[in-house]
């Protein structure tokens, strides 16, 4: 079944909540996947950010953090961690998240930011669209929600991770498998 047919048949998959709920139905756990990712990723975030080498994206992250109000720093750290995660594994974020209006021509889930730049995406909520096979699947109010929705699409659409993001997505999968010390069933 093509992606278009699947979305026509199951319109709830056009929302990030629908995608997360579908993963939760496929791989039951006492804690929802979006909360597991958020909790677990937040707990390792300080150590993970120390591993990030100097890069233009890290510089943007640091600038956004310095310009932010105290109450916005937690969100900036979370979004920054997600955007910087591929660089830890020597993978490129440009293969997963793109800026602008160009429709990505890849069969894999891709986050398309509607912000003016990555600094805007880091420092505030910015409209994002998740595409797969060149089709706009869902719209999200923030890059972190879009990142998690794109991750969920790999399970909902039964897709293998692409080689160019395999380490990043495998790490995120492992972060989604435990919650408060409880091991859950593997998603793959």
d(CA 14, CA 164): 25
Say if 184 falls within a structural domain: no
Q: What is the pTM of this model?
A: 0.86
The answer to whether position 130 is within a domain reads yes
| Residue 122 resides in a domain | yes
Residue 15's domain comprises 3-179
Measured between alpha carbons, how far is 85 from 185 in angstroms, rounded to an integer? 23
CA distances from 58 to 41, 70, 81, 139 (A): 18, 19, 10, 26
Q: What is the pLDDT of residues 70-115, one digit of tens each?
A: 788 888 888 889 988 998 899 988 888 888 777 777 899 999 988 7
3-state SS class at 81: helix
pLDDT tens for 117-132 read: 787 888 777 889 999 9
Judge whether residue 180 has pLDDT over 80. no
Is residue 11 a part of any domain in this protein? yes
pLDDT at residue 165 in the model: 94
The answer as to whether 187 is a domain residue is no
How many structural domains comprise the chain? 1
CA angle 127, 52, 176 (to 5 degrees): 60
């Amino acid at each position: 079944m093509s992606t278009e047919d699947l979305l026509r048949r199951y319109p709830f998959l056009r929302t990030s909540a629908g995608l997360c709920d579908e993963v939760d139905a496929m791989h039951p756990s006492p804690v929802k996947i979006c909360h597991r990712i958020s909790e677990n990723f937040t707990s390792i975030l300080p150590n993970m950010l120390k591993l990030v080498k100097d890069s233009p994206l890290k510089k943007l992250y640091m600038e956004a953090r310095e310009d932010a109000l105290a109450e916005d720093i937690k969100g900036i750290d979370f979004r920054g961690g997600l955007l910087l995660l591929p660089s830890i594994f020597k993978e490129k974020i440009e293969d997963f998240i793109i800026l602008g209006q160009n429709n990505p021509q890849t069969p894999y889930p891709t986050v398309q930011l509607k912000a003016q730049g990555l600094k805007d995406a880091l420092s505030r909520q910015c409209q994002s669209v998740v595409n797969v096979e060149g089709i706009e699947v869902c719209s999200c109010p923030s890059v972190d929600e879009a990142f998690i929705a794109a991750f969920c699409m790999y399970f909902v659409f039964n897709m293998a991770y692409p080689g160019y993001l395999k380490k990043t997505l495998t790490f995120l999968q492992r972060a989604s498998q435990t919650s408060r010390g409880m091991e859950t069933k593997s998603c793959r």
